[in-house]
Amino acid sequence: MQTQIYRNFIEGAWCDAASGETFNAINPTDGTVIGSVAKSDRIDAQGAITAARKGHKILDAMTAWERAALCNAVADQIQSRRDSLAEILSAEQGKPLISEAYGEVDAAATGFREAAELIKWMEGEYIPVETPNVRAVSYRKARGVYAVITPWNFPINIPVEYLAPCLAAGNGVVWVPAPSTSACASALMECIVEAGVPEGAINLVHGPGDVAGDEIVVNPGTDGIGFTGSPVTGGIISKRGAGKPMLLELGGNGPVIVLNDADLDKAADAAAFGCFFNAGQVCAATGRILTTRDTHEALAQKLKERAEAIKLGNPLDKNTTMGPLNNSSVVAKVAQHVADGLDRGGKLLTGGRVAAEHGSELFYAPTVIDDVPVDSLLNTAETFGPVAPIVVCEDDEDLIRTANAAGHGLAAGVFTRDLSRAFNFGERIQAGLVNINNPSCYWELHLPFGGAPGKNSGIGRLGGKHTLRAVTEIKTITFNIG
């Protein structure tokens, strides 16, 4: 792959950072440089905010049908560049090309098509009022300029979760993507540009989140914030952007709970998928597997077999089913959590080490640890890596208590054949999404997705019409016709 230059896209033009500074886009498989990226600062972000205001005005003057056509045009571009998008996604993010990268690209195209469909069905209300001769209507309206900040784990699809509904609804956008997947962001931006989206409607500003990202959060020129990332950064953004409407999609530590009447093979397949898909770098990943003493040995053995069947390697190789982790801080956190789990008495069944023989220090062997104590970081915090920790509980009440004791509450899976147990767990697990007989990470783009109240997993709901609602405001107009 040739070394490239990844510029900002502001007010309809590709441009360098005002400072002229750059940083490198790196391939995590072997540490090679993919390209050089504009290292933007506050000046660049401010220019993009001004451009997005103009872009919003253009979009606002269009009909929903015209904006839907733009969304469909972006989806067409994504589909026509399916191969090159999947390749850069695999090369820069590290996910396997065949088993994962193509799927993410397809989901991005679907995201734009769904926004195109849904915006046409954004109905308002005709509201009865007490006063004679007065009529009242209300409808949803774009807020203006949206600040969108996205992570590196799904660097094509997560941005689309905001960009598509913002475009469909008529918001101008300034988008600051994660620096370690800047090339993916540029590749998606090219689709938006080639689709003929109006000047200023969507602006891309590469660079450090705590500078360019912070600017779009605090600047009074943005009217709303869409953020997906860690709870720590989400906490900073909620303070720095206080007063603005926010959609915050933060971390998870999703349990998969396997009850003793479950089909253990199906449960093991699903839990392994939840733990190892995208090398565990998924907010809704299966961060821990909770089960009872009567099933844990058989389940642990099945998980070990599945972990050992995974093919680590270059993600561009068609046989690879797990690539490297995206960056060194992820590896450090995984290593810390595994060491903590083993120190506290967990039993290592497989993995538990960096697997640099596959190309770089960012490869980590799929890991299964049995009998992880409840006070381990693996059970209490988000690991975000390819680890399957099994926590043994006493009974159903203990399973629910242990699931709910963690600080996060994003997504969970429950395996049982018993309908009443399924309902009991579904209703009592504190997570925005509970999947019965599916892994914690099962989700479709139009389903509501977000953190449970009182948990450190975010505010609001993404997904289909829910995102459209989140990026719009209700406007009410009354008419005195007397």
Q: Which is nearer to ligand NAD, 328 or 476 (CB)?
A: 328
Question: Among the candidate windows 43-51, 144-152, 165-173, 339-347, which touches ligand NAD by CB under 6 A?
Answer: 144-152
Under rule CB under 6 A, residue 233 binds ligand NAD: yes
Minimum distance, C-beta of residue 287 to ligand NAD, in the bound complex (Å): 9
Site for ligand NAD in 171-190 (CB under 6 A): 177-179
Minimum distance, C-beta of residue 325 to ligand NAD, in the bound complex (Å): 11
Of 248, 239, 367, 370, which Cα lies nearest the Cα of 310? 367
Please identify which of the residues 190, 249, 275, 382 carries the catalytic annotation: 249
Q: Which is nearer to ligand NAD, 144 or 177 (CB)?
A: 177
- Cα-Cα end-to-end distance for the chain: 70
Q: Which amino acid is at 312?
A: L
Question: Going residue by residue from 409 to 448, which x/- string records binding to ligand NAD, judged by CB under 6 A?
Answer: -x--------------------------------------
Q: Which is nearer to ligand NAD, 170 or 209 (CB)?
A: 209
Site for ligand NAD in 349-388 (CB under 6 A): 382, 384
> For 20-32, b where at least 16 C-beta lie within 10 A, e where not — what string?
eebbebbbbbeee
Residue 35, strand partner residues: 4, 25
DSSP designation for 372? -
Q: Which of 30, 125, 210, 265 binds ligand NAD (CB under 6 A)?
A: 210
* Mode of pairing for the β-strands spanning 224-228 and 246-249: parallel
Number of neighbours of residue 475 by Cβ within 10 angstroms: 11
Q: Which amino acid is at 147?
A: A
Question: Going residue by residue from 272 to 311, which x/- string records binding to ligand NAD, judged by CB under 6 A?
Answer: -----------x----------------------------
Q: Which of 187, 247, 250, 414 binds ligand NAD (CB under 6 A)?
A: 250
Q: Which amino acid is at 5?
A: I
Minimum distance, C-beta of residue 364 to ligand NAD, in the bound complex (Å): 16
Spell out the residues 6+ positions from residue 296 whose beta carbon is closer than 8 angstroms to its own: 370, 371, 390, 392
Under rule CB under 6 A, residue 254 binds ligand NAD: no
297 labelled catalytic: no
> For 99-131, b where at least 16 C-beta lie within 10 A, e where not — what string?
bbbbebbbbbbbbbbbbbebbeebeeeeeeeee
Tokens of 454: 């009182």
Under rule CB under 6 A, residue 458 binds ligand NAD: yes
Local structure of 88: helix, strand or coil: helix
Backbone angles phi, psi at 267, to 5 degrees: -65, -40
Q: Which of 17, 75, 149, 271 binds ligand NAD (CB under 6 A)?
A: 149
Local structure of 106: helix, strand or coil: helix
199 labelled catalytic: no
Q: Are 229 and 210 in contact (CB under 8 A)?
A: no
Question: Among the candidate windows 182-190, 205-213, 263-271, 350-358, which touches ligand NAD by CB under 6 A?
Answer: 205-213
* 254-258 sheet: strands from edge to edge: 347-350, 367-370, 387-393, 286-292, 254-258, 411-415, 433-436
Under rule CB under 6 A, residue 165 binds ligand NAD: no
Under rule CB under 6 A, residue 162 binds ligand NAD: no
Cα–Cα distance, 163 to 172 (Å, whole number): 9
Under rule CB under 6 A, residue 104 binds ligand NAD: no
Question: Among the candidate windows 99-107, 232-240, 333-341, 435-443, which touches ligand NAD by CB under 6 A?
Answer: 232-240
Of 431, 39, 27, which Cα lies nearest the Cα of 213? 39
Give the binding site for ligand NAD (CB under 6 A): 149-153, 158, 177-179, 209-210, 213-214, 217, 228-230, 233, 236-237, 249-252, 283, 382, 384, 410, 458
| Catalytic residue set | 249, 283
